[in-house]
Structure 1
């Protein structure tokens, strides 16, 4: 895939092959009408989701201008309904309208909990939320690290803890790629 080669050349982090195929399969099986992607990167994950359901309406958010512009250039020629937004997800999600059936989070790891909390009330029952890189290249299990990394790891651990405690979701932690959480939204607690 040319998009993968370009991303690797430009040193833009992308999904590994197993995670990309898993994401594609989940979209193909679930057939979501509306997909939200938080963290667009080079557009590689966006393309895999679009291939999984060409009829889906995909909203993808990226705050890095260079990545946004490169991705926009690549995706504008494709026959999919992809709305790519140059925004900070923390700001955008506060005013987001509508509901989503499928959410993929692959952005600033220390913000995962904030992203997740911002979308909780934007989901339809049966929606699924994926968060990539939850093992954080093994850092989740390390003791010796810089204070900045330690803070990021603590926030990611808090996110994982909250996923486990949230009764509105059934969550699995999958050993796919660098770790993937899969949270099925059950609806509001009774």
Structure 2
């Protein structure tokens, strides 16, 4: 699966992030996992390997990536529900609660995704967001107006994570940066 994604130029997790994600799922043993942006399904596979009994709902809005991922994952013996959908639309009507969320989609939408799932978590749930260093762009000054807007939205997401008292958040130097937010429950 990794070789196919690299050949098809589908972004995937680096090895360290993949193993870290796998370990977190293996340790936490979540019953319900939500993945926002599955690309070719590589991260989905790592999470399924971490807990083969988990129910995984994975969303992708790029048709080509969705179809390639669907083809690869449909033969595997895991409970994976792949959805071809824009996460911003899907998350508005999301039913049920999740124990584990992995966000690896449009970086400028991270805050919107996070806010949409905030009330869909069980206490003790964990939310990961990948690529928060944005290939170093988070620390650059000179960039195009479009990139500057994306970076500003990502910085706002990071700021809001730090301020949100419902979560205990760590920023980890894993891969291209990974945020890990543990849901404490509603503020008292």
- TM-score normalised by the chain length of structure 1: 0.99
Displacement of 1:103 in angstroms is 0.0
- Cα distance in 1 for residues equivalent to 2:152 and 2:134: 11
Any idea what the Cα deviations from partners look like across 1:112-159, whole Å, max 9, x if unmatched? Answer: 000000000000000000000000000000000000000000000000
**What secondary structure, in the 3-state scheme, does the structure 2 residue paired with 1:41 have?**
coil
Query: Where do 5+ consecutive residues of structure 2 fail to align?
Result: none
Any idea what the Cα deviations from partners look like across 1:64-88, whole Å, max 9, x if unmatched? Answer: 0000000000000000000000000
- Cα distance in 1 for residues equivalent to 2:59 and 2:40: 11
Displacement of 1:30 in angstroms is 0.0
Establish whether residue 76 from structure 1 lines up as the match of residue 74 from structure 2: yes
- Counterpart in the other structure of 2:113: 115
Any idea what the Cα deviations from partners look like across 1:31-85, whole Å, max 9, x if unmatched? Answer: 0000000001010000000000000000000000000000000000000000000
**What secondary structure, in the 3-state scheme, does the structure 2 residue paired with 1:126 have?**
strand
CA-based RMSD of the aligned residues comes to 0.2
- Cα distance in 1 for residues equivalent to 2:74 and 2:98: 22
- Counterpart in the other structure of 1:9: 7
Displacement of 1:110 in angstroms is 0.0
**What secondary structure, in the 3-state scheme, does the structure 2 residue paired with 1:5 have?**
helix
**What secondary structure, in the 3-state scheme, does the structure 2 residue paired with 1:13 have?**
coil
**What secondary structure, in the 3-state scheme, does the structure 2 residue paired with 1:178 have?**
coil
**What secondary structure, in the 3-state scheme, does the structure 2 residue paired with 1:45 have?**
helix
Query: Where do 5+ consecutive residues of structure 1 fail to align?
Result: none
- Cα distance in 1 for residues equivalent to 2:64 and 2:4: 13
- Counterpart in the other structure of 1:44: 42
- Cα distance in 2 for residues equivalent to 1:132 and 1:73: 24
**What secondary structure, in the 3-state scheme, does the structure 2 residue paired with 1:79 have?**
coil
- Cα distance in 1 for residues equivalent to 2:187 and 2:59: 29
**What secondary structure, in the 3-state scheme, does the structure 1 residue paired with 2:12 have?**
coil
Q: Number of aligned residue pairs: give it.
A: 188
> Which of the numbers 170, 173, 176 marks the counterpart of 2:171?
173
- TM-score normalised by the chain length of structure 2: 1.00
- Cα distance in 2 for residues equivalent to 1:142 and 1:68: 32
- Cα distance in 2 for residues equivalent to 1:129 and 1:97: 17
